[in-house]
């Protein structure tokens, strides 16, 4: 494919991404990942609390 094919793919992908972002209501990926990481951390903390042996 070479360098020209790679550049062509990059340009087409960039133009397509810009078009989609301007014309459609796409989710904000940064906020989506931050929310996902927060939920995973909360889940992990809950698992750690359950695994701790409690001395009664």
**Residue 31 burial (C-beta neighbours within 10 Å; 0-12, 13-18, 19+):** exposed
Average pLDDT over residues 38-45: 93
pLDDT of 54 reads 65
55 vs 13, higher pLDDT? 13
Instruction: Give Cα 44 to chain centroid, integer Å.
Output: 19
| Average of per-residue pLDDT values in the chain | 88
Cα separation, 27 vs 25, whole angstroms? 7
pTM above 0.75, yes or no: no
Q: How far apart are CA 1 and CA 28, in angstroms?
A: 33
Domain edges within the chain:
2-51
Cα separation, 37 vs 10, in Å, equals 29
If pLDDT is split at 50, 70 and 90, which confidence band does 16 have?
very high
- Banded model confidence at residue 4, pLDDT cuts 50, 70, 90: confident
């Amino acid at each position: 494919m070479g360098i020209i094919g790679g550049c062509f793919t990059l340009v087409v992908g960039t133009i397509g991404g810009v078009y989609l972002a301007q014309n459609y209501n796409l989710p904000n990926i940064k906020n989506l990942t931050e929310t996902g990481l927060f939920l995973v951390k909360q889940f992990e903390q809950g698992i750690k609390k359950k695994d701790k042996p409690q001395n009664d």
